[in-house]
Amino acid sequence: MHDRVADVGEGRRPQAGWTAVALALAAAALLFTALRGCAEPFSNGAPVVAPVPVSAQELAKLTQATTYTTTPAAAPDQDPFAVTDGAVLHPLTPQVLYVAPGGKPVAVLPTTELGGPTWVPVVQSDPGWVRVLLPSRPNRATGWIFTGDTGTSGVAIARSAYLVRIEVGARKLGVDKNGSSLGTWTVAVGAPHTPTPTGRTFLLALLAPPHPTYSPLILPLGAHSNVFTTFGGGPGTVGLHGWPDPSVFGQAVSNGCVRVPADALRLLSHLPLGTLVMITQ
């Protein structure tokens, strides 16, 4: 079926020939020019809860939180339709993810995702800890990372000025910068039997096929199809990408991905990784 083959962003593992690394590294460099400075350490003077020690043997047994894995013990997002302040986090070394500050370790956040640097949104903070969205299943899984007294131990924290808004029912995508709209476009969304999942997620990576068929760029999100557990050899990752036939825009026809016009795709490809994507019904 043509549509199942075409929507690579909904689950196919990137091929070795893709320029994922170069594009993702470029996006990482862009991040530090597009972000509104580094975030201040998250602290309000309250005592910092120490993390549970994790031995090397225990660390090796923890699941790597990637788009290809499932982290069932991770806590779900408590406020999945809240807009954050734009804080995003990059692990400088693999970071243990805990179910709560001082709680049980549940996974590890690696330094790279899909060939590029890992950047994830910060959705909550406690003294010495930050809670981030994960790229793994289930959708909107979260984990706490210990940042220490300074708030920056083993991680880089910055702020994205951008927000991507997707309204599934209206079939609209908008991009804001510092609260001001950069544009709104009519897009194609998931068909009724393969809907685009709602809730907050984020730009996980920037990929380009060497011989593009339907889109020169694909932006995987930190979300997965609720219908396909696998798709095209991959884990059913949902993404943003272009489409050669503009007649699809305004329709619910995809396998869960969001198909966007060329000018929207160009803008999206320049946003920092980790930027929040809010998908509402």
Output the tens digit of pLDDT for each of the chain's 281 residues.
333 323 334 334 444 334 444 444 444 444 443 443 444 444 456 789 999 999 999 999 999 999 999 999 999 999 999 999 999 999 999 999 999 999 999 999 999 999 999 999 999 999 999 999 999 999 999 999 999 865 557 999 999 999 999 999 999 999 999 999 999 999 999 999 999 999 999 999 999 988 899 999 999 999 999 999 887 778 999 999 999 999 999 999 999 999 999 999 999 999 999 999 999 99
How is the chain split into domains, by residue range? 2-25+161-280, 35-160
The predicted pLDDT at position 152 comes to: 54
The CATH code for residues 2-25+161-280 is 2.40.440.10
pLDDT at 34: 42
Q: Are 265 and 215 in contact (CB under 8 A)?
A: yes
pLDDT recorded at residue 40: 44
- The whole model's pTM is what? 0.88
Per DSSP bridges, beta strands 129-133 and 141-146 are antiparallel
SS (H, E, C) the chain: CHHHHHCHHHCCCCCCCCCHHHHHHHHHHHHHHHEEEECCCCCCCCCCCCCCCCCHHHHHHCEECCCCCECCCCEECCCCCCCCCCEEEEECCCEEEECCCCCCEEEEECCEECCEECCEEEEEEECCEEEEECCCECCCEEEEEECCCCCCCCEEEEEECEEEEEECCCCEEEEEECCEEEEEEECEEECCCCCCCCEEEEECCCECCCCCCCCCCEEEEEEECCCCCCECCECCEEEEECCCCHHHCCCEEECCCEECCHHHHHHHCCCCCCCEEEEEC
